[in-house]
Amino acid sequence: MKSYDRWVVPRFNELMKPRINWHYVERFFQVAAWLLALAIVMLSLGPPSTRPVTGAGHNFEHLFIFVATGGAFGLGYPRRTWLLPIALVAFSGAIEVAQMMVQGRHARMSDFITDAAASCLGVGLSYVFMKITTRATKV
């Protein structure tokens, strides 16, 4: 072994370790979460004619966007895991109540239940993901 190998090889191995700056990851998911929440507000309170129609069913559309929103909030605010479901259930309720004030829109209890459950599911999935990844990085 050459004399410079004692310094170069360990230093090279240290530099090649994958590093993730979790601050930037959290910031990305915070922005994504608020954009998804804004999209929910705009799609829910806008005129029915502007609502995009997909091939998926009505409940699946609600399930998908609220799971994504809950997951993004969960990954963006990982230290607020127990507050997020409460806030997202309140957000789901507020959306349904606000729809009663918009002409051409209607509030449904089934939408509220789907939205609230889906957002809680998203937060729960993000919590499990964070536990798995932090446990894997500690090993």
Mean pLDDT per block of 10 residues along the chain (139 residues) reads 54 59 88 97 85 80 94 95 95 94 85 95 94 71
Query: Which tokens sit at 107?
Result: 């509030």
pTM of the entire structure? 0.81
Q: What does the pLDDT read at residue 137?
A: 61
3-state secondary structure of 115: helix
CA 104-40-97 angle, 5° bins: 50
Q: What does the pLDDT read at residue 28?
A: 95
Q: What does the pLDDT read at residue 27?
A: 95
